[in-house]
Amino acid sequence: METTQKIKGHKYTLCKLGPVDFLDQENGIPLTIFLIDQSKAKGQQIQDFINDESSESDTKQHYDTLRCVLGKGVLTKEGKPFDVDEFLNKETDFEACMELFNAVLSLSLYRFKDIIQLSKVQTEYFDAMAKRYGQLPIDCLFTDHNYSELDAFLFNSFILNYNLQKEASLIKKQNRKRQLARTKIRRR
């Protein structure tokens, strides 16, 4: 799906992104819109980004995300093929960059238009419900199935990753307890 939008006086042709557009990326889709138990509120995170209070690696990650989404989601500028590197090197208006970035995401996401904070309990709940009923986590959340491929991939991946990390943590704890028990037995 393509659409044309005018941003800061320039006409851009944008396309809807899906998971397949990020198969060439080492880390897959370079963004998430879900948070769990973050100490900073969303507004503070955005303010830190704007004020450049993030680390150098965070800044590089933000730039790489911006570059990836614009490179895949913007087809043309003023009718000419869009060159993301040229745009980012010449464009000094941060607001224009972010407006273009948000336009691509808005076109690609139907349900998740903003950062969403989930509790650990809700994350575990969607995982358990999906397993019990043989569905994807997103289908448990939106029973009308009115979501984009990118919505589904981001939500399902988030639920999966969180629960895999939780399981790995539990396994580590169990292994430590076993190791401690073996050490106590040997000492006797």
Per-residue pLDDT of the chain (188 residues; tens, 9 = 90+): 899 999 989 999 999 999 998 888 877 787 777 777 554 444 454 445 445 455 666 777 778 888 899 999 999 999 999 999 988 888 667 888 889 999 999 999 999 888 888 889 999 999 999 999 999 999 999 999 999 999 999 999 999 999 999 999 999 999 998 888 888 777 76
Cα 71 from Cα 75, distance rounded (Å): 8
Give pTM, 2 decimals: 0.75
Tell me if 22 sits within 8 A of 28, measured CB to CB.
Answer: yes
What's the chain look like in SS3?
A: CEEEEEECCEEEEEECCCHHHHCCCCCCCCCCCEEECCCCCHHHHHHHHHCCCCCHHHHHHHHHHHHHHHHHHEEEECCEECCHHHHHHHCCCHHHHHHHHHHHHHHHCCCCCCCEEECHHHHHHHHHHHHHHCCCHHHHHCCCCCCCHHHHHHHHHHHHHHHHHHHHHHHHHHHHHHHHHHHHHHHC
Cα 14 from Cα 63, distance rounded (Å): 19
Break the chain into its structural domains and give their ranges: 1-108, 119-188
Tell me if 159 sits within 8 A of 120, measured CB to CB.
Answer: no
